Amino acid sequence: MKTRNIFNISLGIASEIFYALLIIFTAFIACLIFYIKA
Amino acid sequence: MILKPRKEDIQIILFYLGKVILGLGFTMLLPLTLALALKERVPAFDFLLSLEITLIIGLILENFFRTDRNLNWMQGMIVVSLSWLAAMFLGAVPLYLSGHWLSYLDACFEAMSGFTTSGMILVQDLDHLSRSHNLWRHLSMFIGGQGIVIVALSLFVKGFTGGFTMYVGEARDERIMPNIAHTSQFIWLVSIVYLILGTLALGLTGLLNGMSAFNSFFHGACIFMAAFDTGGFTPQSQSILYYHSLTYELITVVIMILGAMNFKLHYILWTGNRKEIVRDIETRTFFATVMLTFLITAFGLYRTGLYPQASALFRKGFYLLISSHTTTGFQTIYTRQFIGEWGDLAMVGIMCAMFLGGAVCSTTGGIKIIRIGIIFKALVQDIKKIILPERAIVVQKFHHLKEMFLENKQVRPALIITMAYLAFYGAGAIIGMFCGYPFLNSLFESTSAAANIGLSSGITDAGMPSVLKVTYIIQMWAGRLEFMSVLTLLGFVYAAFKGK
């Protein structure tokens, strides 16, 4: 049970970090596109 | 007819206030221990004295007003609002004793800024402040981020009852688990797990950048507490610019975003339902508003020609944007550059992000993105009603932890609180203008205080008028508690004088 909890928590943390990185990456791409267009 | 408060009301309120003050006192043991360990003798005496004062006041209240009754809604709300004021007055004592604040009012300002996770500072010569005082500043953010009353009552004091009223009073209206003590423990679990991970990541980055081992991890822990609790204090006066590290900036951006997320969403993700992160209205709205406000800021910066390369524009612009949107207040540019060189459009982009804030039931301030999402959905629903035939039934759904139908009972409070925040931002701006500051700067500073952000347009300074310091203290306090507890306290005081 404990191993499963730790596994779930790790995947939960990974998904949260992925969300944060997705925001950063999308903003960076948007910035690049904006610069190239301008 | 307004009823005068009963003696029992006052007894119960003061008894629980005493318990909270006792809990707060115990948290001072941490900086005291650090001061003793590092042989910081004078700061150790500051904390010893503050600890004694806090414990004496707490014990007097607890013993003089002892009762076994539970709190009702009104009493719970008043305990919350008074507890945050008590935390400010008592938390300011060690700061004032350090001699780094010019007056007790300045120390109170800094303490309220810490507990409300705002990050506005009036400290003098921060770079030479003792480590224990620095720990106390950052710890105040960590305690404030979790909720002072809940922390004090659920973890430090036995016999914790009537918790839900105070949980709501501290602007947390979503119960994670049926029991408030368990809810509080889960909030602590999330914070402690991330504290370990974040401190390790920042500490190792510091080590690789050439900082000493102790400094790397001490700074790492302090910066983590300020980032995750979206506070914005830093151990050095140059904020995050001090570290000159892209990795440090990247890690703090991630931590700030994690801190802006709903604790209930953390719970759902940590218990296996990971799809929620892309379905929830809060994460979707946050994503959209970050992109929108960043594009405004980026366009503003592009027009000024300040950053000729896209990477430089992104690094500076996006960092400040996320720092504002999550209501943290970290900076990687100097305030003078922000005011003088960024231009009005970029400043407006940052201000729009400041208005919005993060998720409810998180450590952020501001209007909160779920309210923006709900208002947007309501707007879409109304437009559909106009466009579609009269007989058509328009149903608007949204997903917040579960599938929900949009109803007036959700839209009305969202609109009321949004309007209250906007009025509060405006009121502070008017007082700023009365003190002789320009409109945009006054509005920026007022928003920064009321939304608990901490960025400054240059007004916040030890030399600013006392009336403005008190205004910002009230804004930080009421903004953090989302008005209801403070309004209940005002109603209680009014009833005490005018009631029958």
pLDDT tens per residue, range B257-308 = 999 999 999 999 998 888 889 999 999 999 999 999 999 999 999 999 899 8
pLDDT tens per residue, range B297-322 = 999 999 998 998 899 999 999 999 99
Q: Which residues make Cβ contacts (< 8 Å) with residue B50, sequence separation at least 6?
A: B28, B90, B93, B94, B97
Q: How far apart are CA B446 and CA B476, in angstroms?
A: 9
Share of chain B above pLDDT 70, in %: 96
Q: How confident is the model at residue B436 (pLDDT cuts 50, 70, 90)?
A: very high
Q: Is B345 on the interface with A (CB under 8 A)?
A: no
pLDDT of the residue at B34:
96
Q: Can you tell me the ipTM of this complex?
A: 0.94
Q: Which member of B269, B283, B314 has the closest CB to residue A12?
A: B269
Q: How confident is the prediction for chain B on average, in pLDDT?
A: 90
pLDDT tens per residue, range B461-493 = 999 999 999 999 999 999 988 888 888 899 989
Region B58-78 average pLDDT:
88
pLDDT of the residue at B157:
52
pLDDT tens per residue, range B356-404 = 999 988 888 888 999 999 999 999 999 999 999 888 888 888 888 888 8
User: With 60 as the cut, is the pLDDT of residue B456 above it?
Assistant: yes
Minimum distance, in Å, between the CA of residue B279 and any CA atom of chain A:
12
User: With 80 as the cut, is the pLDDT of residue B158 above it?
Assistant: no
User: With 70 as the cut, is the pLDDT of residue B6 above it?
Assistant: yes
Q: Which member of B266, B291, B299 has the closest CB to residue A27?
A: B291
Quick check: A27 and B258 CB within 8 A? no
pLDDT tens per residue, range B18-37 = 988 998 999 999 999 999 99
Q: How far apart are CA B342 and CA B336, in angstroms?
A: 10
Closest CA to B316 of B324, B307, B325: B307
Q: Is A33 on the interface with B (CB under 8 A)?
A: no
For B398, phi then psi, to 5°, come to -150, 160
Q: Is A20 on the interface with B (CB under 8 A)?
A: yes
Q: How far apart are CA B164 and CA A33, in angstroms?
A: 48
Residue with tokens 């003088």: B340
Check if the beta carbon of residue B235 is closer than 8 Å to that of residue B134: yes
- Backbone Cα Rg of chain B: 22
Nearest chain B alpha carbon to A9: B270
Closest CA to B226 of B444, B385, B453: B453
Share of chain B above pLDDT 90, in %: 67
User: With 80 as the cut, is the pLDDT of residue B165 above it?
Assistant: no
Between B409 and B60, residue with greater pLDDT? B60
User: With 60 as the cut, is the pLDDT of residue B210 above it?
Assistant: yes
- Considering the entire predicted model, what is its pTM? 0.93
Q: How far apart are CA B233 and CA B340, in angstroms?
A: 23
Residue with tokens 């030890």: B462
pLDDT of the residue at B350:
94
Q: Is A26 on the interface with B (CB under 8 A)?
A: yes
Between B119 and B5, residue with greater pLDDT? B119
Q: Is B49 on the interface with A (CB under 8 A)?
A: no
Minimum distance, in Å, between the CA of residue B403 and any CA atom of chain A:
21
pLDDT of the residue at A34:
83
pLDDT of the residue at B496:
86
pLDDT of the residue at B371:
92
Quick check: B193 and A38 CB within 8 A? no
Region A6-29 average pLDDT:
94
Q: Which member of A9, A12, A27 has the closest CB to residue B318?
A: A27
Q: How far apart are CA B299 and CA B295, in angstroms?
A: 6
Closest CA to B396 of B414, B388, B384, B413: B384
Other CB atoms within a 10 A radius of the CB of residue B331 amount to 24
Q: Is B246 on the interface with A (CB under 8 A)?
A: no
User: With 60 as the cut, is the pLDDT of residue B160 above it?
Assistant: no
Nearest chain B alpha carbon to A36: B310
8-state DSSP, B405: E
Chain B, window 177-236: residues with a beta carbon less than 8 angstroms from a chain A beta carbon: 193-194, 197
Q: How confident is the model at residue B48 (pLDDT cuts 50, 70, 90)?
A: very high
Q: How far is CA B99 from CA B34, B45, B183, B234, B235, in A?
A: 19, 13, 39, 19, 17
pLDDT of the residue at B154:
65
